[in-house]
Amino acid sequence: MLNTGDTSWILTSTALVLFMTLPGLALFYGGLVKSRNILSVFMHCISIACLMSLLWVAFGYSIAFGDGLDLNSYWGGLSKVFLQDLTAESMLGSIPESVFAAFQMTFAIITPALIVGAYVERVKFSFVLIFSALWMLLCYAPVTHWVWGGGFLFELGTVDLAGGLVVHETAGLAALVIAYFLGVRKDKSKPPHNPGYVMLGASMLWVGWFGFNAGSQLAANGNAGITLLVTHISACAASLSWASYEYFKYGKASLVGLVTGTIAGLATITPASGSVTPLEAFIIGSVAGVVCQEMCSVVKNKFNLDDSLDVFAVHGFGGILGTISIAVFGHAGWYEQIFAILVVGIFTIVITTLIVIITMKIVPIRVSEDSEERGLDLTEHGEKAYDLNS
């Protein structure tokens, strides 16, 4: 039966999660790159939002939430392609199925958009579109079915409320794969060109994350309330622990560092936000602000992977850490959580590698050295963000 309160909340959450990508993630990533590449980041984010929306309606929703019959443990099938049987009366629990489909669409948008941070400043725009399309359909949608759509990880009892596995682990590991194939940037010396944009984008992500996590309860009730509360607590704790650890190491705490800690705390609490207490959320966020910061150095210095904006360290490792924390605090079994992390991880690495190789046979993955030096705004899109002569 339709519940208008639940429906209103999920409609609101849908808008909040879209707000995370546009303009939240666009500003967060855009502020971190050189000034000559900011428009390319914006272009990546908004183009991915448009393309993923159409593909989600066409095939993605069916793969993730359809009934795959004999293969349903692994594949949602194509029974819901183009939402062909969806009407205003179609219900999913207490909300219209159309609202649920739109809400899940925003997750299918932001997940490939998160990967943008790994390849900024040196990737071909055509590669971004082809890779993102194939990756959402062949990697993200199947994993969504396994965890949320009644697949084998759901049946096993794996707990992931809002995407520690489905969103953050998949995006983070895909980021490492692309960084490996792309190679390092020619010039990594310049700092973020606009830390103010980074802070504004992080703040928008923070607000939108309430819809991301609390909206995943699919109801306007006490569970949504506690989910929102622990989400905020983890973000606050991670922000301050990141800044404190940065001060301990370098003698200064930066704005960019603090808000990166915010995102690490939000990513880490995401899978656990429907399970943990406020005290446990404080612990999770405090730990995330330190260990995710250390992971940034491990990826770039030990493995020499130019995951430009630390997608794996902040999102991928954060999502894995949050998924494990559910077992640490006794809210799920260790086997169920670890098994899911391994299965999703191996699948993501293998499928992403195959997609990158296939896409590279269609279009180049990297721009020329000259284009990289002049900036992608001008060479890929024919525009400049800043005209100092105007």
One pLDDT digit (tens) per residue for the chain, 390 residues: 899 999 999 999 999 999 999 999 999 999 999 999 999 999 999 999 999 999 999 999 999 999 988 889 999 999 999 999 999 999 999 999 999 999 999 999 999 999 999 999 999 999 999 999 999 999 999 999 999 999 999 999 999 999 999 999 999 999 999 999 999 999 888 889 999 999 999 999 999 999 999 999 999 999 999 999 999 999 999 999 999 999 999 999 999 999 999 999 999 999 999 999 999 999 999 999 999 999 999 999 899 999 999 999 999 999 999 999 999 999 999 999 999 999 999 999 999 999 999 999 999 999 999 999 999 999 999 999 998 776
Q: What is the pTM for the complete model shown?
A: 0.97
* pLDDT value at residue 237: 98
Asked if residue 48 belongs to a domain, the reply is yes
Give the model's pLDDT for residue 189.
81
By the 8 A CB rule, do 40 and 29 touch? no
For 297-308, letters b (16+ CB in 10 Å) and e give: eebbeeeebbbb
388 in a domain, yes or no?
no
Q: Which domain holds residue 109?
A: 4-83+94-376
- Residue 190's pLDDT is 82
234, 281 contact by CB (below 8 A):
yes
Count the domains in the chain. Answer: 1
The CATH number of the domain holding residue 171 is 1.10.3430.10
Residue 390 confidence (pLDDT): 61
**Within a domain: residue 386?**
no
Contacts of 35 (CB under 8 A, 6+ apart): 193, 194, 375, 385, 386
Strand partners, 91: 96
The Cα–Cα gap between 211 and 231 comes to: 10
158 lies in a domain? yes
Residue 96's H or E segment, with its range, is strand 95-96
Judge contact between 6 and 220, C-beta under 8 A. Answer: yes
Residue 385 maps to a domain: no
The answer to the question of residue 89 being in a domain is: no
Give start and end residues of each alpha helix (H) in the chain: 4-19, 26-32, 38-55, 61-65, 97-114, 116-119, 125-135, 141-148, 152-156, 170-182, 195-214, 222-250, 255-269, 278-297, 311, 317-328, 334-362, 369-374, 376-381
The gap from C-alpha 119 to its chain's centroid, in whole angstroms, comes to 15
At residue 387, the pLDDT reads: 83
List the Cα angle 11/12/16 in 5-degree steps: 120
> Is residue 308 a part of any domain in this protein?
yes
| pLDDT computed for residue 4 by the predictor | 97
Domain membership flag for residue 387 = no
